[in-house]
Amino acid sequence: MARNLNEVMVIDAVRTAFGRAGEKGIFWKTRADDLSAPLLKALIERNPPVRPEMVEDILWGATNQVKEQGGTIGRFISMLADWGWEIPGCSIDRMCASGLTSIALGASYIATDMADCLITGGVEHMGHLPMGFMRDPHPRAEEVMGDASAFNMGMTAENIHDRYPEFTKDMADQYTVACQNKADAAIRAEKMKDMIIPIEVELADGTKMIADKDQQPRPGTTMETLATLKTPFRQEKGRVTAGNASGLNDGAAAVLLMSEKRAITMGLTPKMRWVSSAVAAVDPRVMGTAPVPATLKALAKAGLTMNDMDIIEINEAFAVQALYCLDRLGVKPDDPRVNQWGGAIAYGHPLAASGPRLVAFLMGLFKENPEARYGLTTMCVGRGQGCSVIWENLLEK
């Protein structure tokens, strides 16, 4: 029988603060599932009359699905939120884009009338579960992926520098300074206040604090300080440093999706409408280039162009890959549409939490820029993938 597609709306998006991975991080003694459950509670508390039993599924991204992020964490966190046993949930892995994929899949879920209300998002505790933790690569892995550099994200960024030498270290550092400055200005203006859900945590020394501020940003970053940093992925003539790359981080982010008809019935105010989404794959050795084909596919599906994108949120795994992607999409690195509040180079990149963080930023920027109509969230993925989602502002004038 013929079916009509539902319009899919973002009702709300929240996140934790992003902490640094390791013993000096604010979440060193906090579990990944304990980062996730408070976000579920917050989405319900912030959006009456939504109730837990209305949530038909939880699609939760997690890259490393072992230990505290294993056991189908997407199912467990609703019970940890004291919602009982009746809320289904699953875990999704597309490495760095696990969270953004959960949102895109949730949108298609609602669009095809399989659900009316979902919570999507993701978590990553890179302090407890470092990238690659407990993996067992196939004996032919290097052969089929090109070479060993495909397994080292820093090396994939060096490979982009090699293949596309027009993107220099100086350009990457300049981009980094701009990113840190934008983030510093946004934080000072309290742009993060409405999206970060405070969580009480215990630090490594046993003291307790309320984690409500991102730990990673480095205000005052200059070209001079960046020039002194080592290039750990390539000792001689390297260009990728800890400064012009995203950090290793812990954090979670969540998005409440709903069909338009359900939102209207409940008297809620949708913030954004899902327009299209797409994934693409490239040579794993230059995985950071994949947002380009993914974005072009998403634009084609929507019948739009980059000129229609009023706000662009691109996850900055590395400055050089952001520079490449923007250039190939016809966007200058200093275009005012790009990462207006700064990006992952400043805030960090807790893998599966980064995609929903992009959506939370876009939602806030749409509210702040009612004249904007369309926005893009896009990111690269380890092993050579890209994921892009296009949104429409429902708060526009």
- Active-site residue (options: 117, 179, 325, 380): 380
Cβ atoms of residues 26 and 87 within 8 Å:
no
Rounded to 10 degrees, the C-alpha dihedral 15/19/23/28 comes to -10
- Active-site residue (options: 125, 128, 161, 349): 349
What one-character-per-residue DSSP string does 45-87 give?
HHSTT--GGG--EEEEE-SS-SGGGTTTHHHHHHHHTT--S--
**Please, what is the Cα angle at 70 between 64 and 72, to 5 degrees?**
120
161 is catalytic: no
- Please name which of 200, 219, 288, 215 lies closest in space to residue 250, comparing C-alpha atoms: 215
Distance in angstroms (rounded) separating the CA atoms of residues 305 and 317: 24
Q: Which two tokens stand for residue 153?
A: 């994200």
Cβ atoms of residues 19 and 215 within 8 Å:
yes
117 is catalytic: no
- Active-site residue (options: 90, 96, 128, 161): 96
Cβ atoms of residues 61 and 93 within 8 Å:
yes
Residue type, 161: H
Buried b (16+ CB within 10 A) or exposed e, 86-103: ebbbebbbbbbbbbbbbb
Q: Is 72 left (phi over 0), alpha (psi -120 to 50) or beta?
A: left
Q: Which residues are catalytic?
A: 96, 349, 380
